[in-house]
Amino acid sequence: MKERLPLFIGGEFVAGESHRILAVTNPATQEVLTELPFATQEEIDRAVASAKRTFFSWRETPVPERARLMLRYQHLLKEHQDDIARVLSRETGKIFSDAQGDVWRGIEVVEHACNIASLMMGETAENVGGRIDTCTYTQPIGVCAGITPFNFPAMIPLWMFPLAIACGNTFVLKPSEHDPMTPNLLAELFVEAGAPEGVLQVIHGGRDQVDALLAHPDIRAISFVGSLPVARHVYRTGTQHLKRVQAMSGAKNHMVVMPDANRERVIRSLVGASCGAAGQRCMAISVAVFVGDAANWIPDIRNAMAAVSPGPWDDGNAAYGPQINPEAKERILKLIADGKNEGADCLLDGSNCRVAGYPEGNWIGPTLFSKVSPGMRIYTEEIFGPVLLCAQVGGLDEAIRIINANPYGNGTSIFTSSGAAARKFQHEIAVGQVGINIPIPVPLPFFSFTGWRQSFFGDQHAYGKQAVKFYTETKTVMARWPDDAPPGEPNMTINLA
Ligand code: NAD
């Protein structure tokens, strides 16, 4: 029997008492890495109570001190970046460079949180009425909770709890049940950085644990990242319970290829953006829309995709790792079969992918379809695997219409050498994150992660200034201080020369 992964409540790692256990496995081998007890209602209540108790002291901790905690945390995360990446590689199957990137993009958010004093500064206006001044203060809101997906087990928890806690809140994290070892490691390092007990708790589980958090009366705000059906459920239920909710959801990201684009860059970018991280990225490019003669490059793209292959985390030649679990692999295989049945042209089929020495891995090889139309299931569903669909259109207007008709609006990009085409695209496209000659335009943490339409529910997005607004409340103070001097007689002794 494997050791059970503990929960983290009240500053201590505690053994979960549940009989409901999930085996966490290595996706390249199916080796059981740990056993995960799903938190009981009593454990969830204990975690929230601990966060609630701590909130009243933590909110009084001076903001520079909260920033210093983040500075120490950033330093420790950097020091342990490779240790975290190794654990992350084992439980997600990610190749080591992808795992390092996952950790690094989380570290960048912690760096942003180090600047919390400036981010929380309010506004002032003097003399808004006779001797009345007005100022705003930004105050924390209470206990916040985060629910995260499997695909970035370091980065996405780090999108949430460092900023929420730096703002003066306390936090309950419910990471994905598929890769919970990395978030536990993040909590360990947070303790080492000097986080007071009760500021962060980690409870494990799945749907039931999420529902318990959504209904918990002492939780003020919920940050969620995951698939569209679950995002809808979380947003509806959380707001019904009168909580603030930000729900980052699924995606279907298109890249428009104009005939005047740089051919080599297009090919390189499409291979990396569709297959990188096994296609398990919410900003992966899953549809390439070729305008006019750009479609002539499809055979070259096929050859470039055929030249990459998946492999285990420490194989320097592997382009990406396995899918997270056999269910995810099966779902993708089914969608590939649907694509063939629906009449799309399968130019490269990764369904029967094998990796020497890893017969049990959840491998899917690079897969390319052309002649894809918007009614097909492979087009309407998020595939979340190394599968690229190609569509052909006559002009940029038609490309924009197709993208704007898709319900998702997470990311998109255009490859072109025309400023006019790029300007038209960035203005008319109804997608929240746009790349121009950049395939995956993920904003750095001093901006926010601004998915649109069905890719996001709520109004304040993850990280950046918007997250600070999400995790805080504005208090406006109007002050008049009585003064015995008659009004209208300012001090006349100022030298204005
Ligand atoms: P998921 O929706 O299956 O799970 C996300 C979280 O919700 C997990 O913590 C899980 O335990 C919980 N959950 C699962 N089913 C639930 C249910 N029925 N009720 C309540 N909670 C439930 O997502 P996933 O497979 O872990 O992650 C992949 C998805 O996340 C993709 O759709 C991807 O596009 C999306 N994603 C979006 C972003 C973004 O910023 N928009 C970023 C990363 C991933």
- 423-472: pLDDT as tens digits: 999 999 999 999 999 999 999 999 999 999 999 999 999 999 999 999 99
Strand partners, 433: 411
Rounded Cα distance, 136 and 162, in Å: 23
Question: Where do the H-state alpha helices sit in 415-489?
Answer: 419-428, 464-470
* Residue 144 CB–ligand 1 contact under 6 Å: no
SS (H, E, C) 261-329: CCHHHHHHHHHHHHHHHHHCCCCCEEEEEEEHHHHHHHHHHHHHHHCCCECCCCCCCCCECCCCCHHHH
* Residue 230 CB–ligand 1 contact under 6 Å: yes
For residue 227, the ligand 1 atom closest to its alpha carbon is 32
Question: What integer pLDDT is reported at residue 482 of this predicted model?
Answer: 82
Instruction: Identify the sign of the CA torsion 351, 455, 185, 219.
Output: negative
For residue 248, the ligand 1 atom closest to its alpha carbon is 41
Catalytic site positions = 282
Residue 497 has pLDDT above 90, yes or no: no
Q: Which amino acid is at 194?
A: G
Rounded Cα distance, 246 and 449, in Å: 11
Residue 74 has pLDDT above 80, yes or no: yes
* Residue 207 CB–ligand 1 contact under 6 Å: yes
| Most ligand 1 atoms within 8 A of CB, residue of 151, 233, 331 to mutate | 151
Residue with tokens 């692999």: 329
H or E stretch at 162: helix 155-166
User: What are the structure tokens assigned to 482, written together?
Assistant: 């009585």
Which residue has the CA at smallest separation from atom 39 of ligand 1? 248
* Residue 93 CB–ligand 1 contact under 6 Å: no
Which residue has the CA at smallest separation from atom 17 of ligand 1? 207
| Most ligand 1 atoms within 8 A of CB, residue of 150, 213, 325, 331 to mutate | 150
- What would the mean pLDDT of 212-220 be, rounded to a whole number? 98
Residue 56 has pLDDT above 80, yes or no: yes
User: Ligand 1 centroid vs 224 CA: distance in angstroms?
Assistant: 8
- What would the mean pLDDT of 102-115 be, rounded to a whole number? 98
H or E stretch at 223: strand 219-225
Residue 41 near residue 212 (C-beta atoms within 8 A): yes
Residue 365 has pLDDT above 70, yes or no: yes
Question: Where do the H-state alpha helices sit in 80-144?
Answer: 81-92, 96-113, 116-119
For residue 174, the ligand 1 atom closest to its alpha carbon is 9
Question: What integer pLDDT is reported at residue 2 of this predicted model?
Answer: 82
Residue 431 near residue 403 (C-beta atoms within 8 A): yes
Residue 125 has pLDDT above 80, yes or no: yes
Question: What integer pLDDT is reported at residue 492 of this predicted model?
Answer: 64
Question: What integer pLDDT is reported at residue 488 of this predicted model?
Answer: 62
Rounded Cα distance, 413 and 380, in Å: 19
Question: What integer pLDDT is reported at residue 483 of this predicted model?
Answer: 76
- 304-313: pLDDT as tens digits: 999 999 999 9
CB atoms within 10 A of CB 437: 15
Residue 487 has pLDDT above 90, yes or no: no
* Residue 410 CB–ligand 1 contact under 6 Å: yes
**Which range is least confidently modeled, 1-15, 64-78, 155-169?**
1-15
Question: What integer pLDDT is reported at residue 495 of this predicted model?
Answer: 74
User: What are the structure tokens assigned to 307, written together?
Assistant: 């030249």
* Residue 143 CB–ligand 1 contact under 6 Å: no
User: Ligand 1 centroid vs 383 CA: distance in angstroms?
Assistant: 13
User: What are the structure tokens assigned to 349, written together?
Assistant: 């089929």
* Residue 202 CB–ligand 1 contact under 6 Å: no
CB atoms within 10 A of CB 360: 15
User: Ligand 1 centroid vs 489 CA: distance in angstroms?
Assistant: 64
* Residue 102 CB–ligand 1 contact under 6 Å: no
β-strand pairing of 124-129 with 132-140: antiparallel
User: Ligand 1 centroid vs 410 CA: distance in angstroms?
Assistant: 15
Question: What integer pLDDT is reported at residue 496 of this predicted model?
Answer: 74
Residue 132 near residue 480 (C-beta atoms within 8 A): yes
- What would the mean pLDDT of 59-83 be, rounded to a whole number? 98
Beta strands in 130-193 (DSSP E): 132-140, 143-147, 170-174
* Residue 238 CB–ligand 1 contact under 6 Å: no
- 281-298: pLDDT as tens digits: 999 999 999 999 999 999
**What is the rounded average pLDDT for all residues in the chain?**
97
Question: What integer pLDDT is reported at residue 484 of this predicted model?
Answer: 74
- What would the mean pLDDT of 50-63 be, rounded to a whole number? 98
